[in-house]
Structure 1
């Protein structure tokens, strides 16, 4: 019988049962891709991360991400959860340097912020953001995500944005409208597959006290009805705000984004958007909490 260490880490929170849960398998080098997919399906968390040695001298680990249904190229909250685990359980905090992950979209360095030897926050620098048009009727998107057409905020363009995965950004006028959203999952999944979209991400500036933006994320095309707190989608959103001129150029902007409140898993993301260079730099940070530690017992293949 093969034993595999596995962890359940709640990301973008410092408490259990909040934020976004990720499975983390820190010693995945001997696992096959089908085994990784079956483990992710068994854990049945939004995403699970599998860590192994990297062939690149400038990376500390190769990391692969799986939903219960499929492999995806990048996942923010599972990166935060993996970093937190390595720093607190595997001695990486004492190394005093960032951890660099090799992902399908490139290298992702993650900085460790500690106070008196205690980890407080981890912050990943995502790949350069991009935005592009999508030829879809906003009223149809409103119907698919389960809000009224008048709930759409026409002050902001609905676009596709990416810092790894592709996210459909849907501007909404109020937090209440976002909280009331009940998506038509099968139809939304079909739209997302047609356009190569990873998640559909609703956002509003009508945020709770202490937050700048409030968001909600649906990803039925990759097997996730709702992703509680999304590092990748909110990174893409932050890049969109910079590229579309909604954040002033030549400055460093600090955003606090809230997500997960609508489904009882509130989380907080701290995003730094640097617009001082030729291209915006997006850094997404947060805390995490290791909620479950155990072993999977794999039978013979």
Structure 2
């Protein structure tokens, strides 16, 4: 007999449904096998699919496993906010003022600010200067001269991000990447948004070399970018970023540093609700 589980699909980092990044969430998935989770994530064909479970850590409110179409991730940003939204929507009650999510990267704190959720940026697994050869690979993948990269940093908090900055938003939006040239690198690109028409402080794009695709709105990348840009003096302690413009999306990410901690926030919209039979 197949299992019947609650299934929801939400849109993360947007106040309007279909303009952010979609996420599939399966509830009460404790009895699903690894193979079933991986197969369902391939079938949804979304950047990530998550599975909610009972926590194993005494301080956690729930546990989540995060799958792309090809692998499991220890942490990802928009799946964190989307999974938390679904957990709360299904009657989840946190033990304290903050919600504590258990995932492969450990415990992640999440706050509620009205209708918006925000997660605490997890520690970077890798930071520091980007090697010359790696910068040349990134430039080849972006199809730009390496001289157009005005700053760079390893900014990996799980998915393997390496980040570069361009001088202006127009140059960023003009990029038409060559994914094979990235040689498997996951590359985040950021540029300041200037002018009277600006709707955010920065524009961001995320190119996943391992999947050969652009991600519409990426919480993990924006978390790691903030951990680079704010300490380096390239961004203020509170700023907003837009992502997905080149794909017809209007994702909006709110970044705030409180003390030593950086919080990554955004809106989540319910789009689909149903049952999964697997």
Relative to the length of structure 1, the TM-score reads 0.84
Aligned counterpart, 1:36: 37
Check if 1:45 corresponds to 2:32: no
TM-superposed CA distance for 1:165, in Å, is 3.4
Whether the aligned pair in 1 keeps the contact of 2:10 and 2:22 (CA below 8 Å) is: yes
Residue ranges of structure 2 left out of the alignment (5+ in a row):
none
TM-superposed CA distance for 1:98, in Å, is 2.3
TM-superposed CA distance for 1:104, in Å, is 1.3
The whole-number CA distance in structure 2 between the counterparts of 1:93 and 1:267 is 28
**Aligned residue among 203, 210, 214 for 1:226:** 214
Residue by residue over 1:265-292, the C-alpha shift from the partner in whole angstroms, topping out at 9 and shown as x without a partner, is 1110111124x4xxx4111001011111
Q: CA RMSD in A?
A: 2.1
> Which piece of structure 1 moves more, 12-21 or 204-213?
204-213
Aligned counterpart, 1:110: 110
Whether the aligned pair in 2 keeps the contact of 1:239 and 1:273 (CA below 8 Å) is: no
**Aligned residue among 239, 263, 282 for 2:247:** 263
Residue ranges of structure 1 left out of the alignment (5+ in a row):
115-119, 193-198
Whether the aligned pair in 1 keeps the contact of 2:138 and 2:187 (CA below 8 Å) is: no
Whether the aligned pair in 2 keeps the contact of 1:175 and 1:214 (CA below 8 Å) is: yes
The 5-angstrom pairing of residues 1-301 of structure 1 reads: 1-87=2-88, 89-92=89-92, 97-114=97-114, 120-129=115-124, 131-137=127-133, 138-152=135-149, 154=150, 156=151, 158-188=152-182, 190-192=183-185, 199-206=186-193, 209-221=198-210, 223=211, 225-246=213-234, 253-274=237-258, 276=259, 280-298=260-278
3-state SS of 1:226 partner: strand
3-state SS of 2:5 partner: strand
Whether the aligned pair in 1 keeps the contact of 2:55 and 2:62 (CA below 8 Å) is: yes
Aligned counterpart, 1:117: none
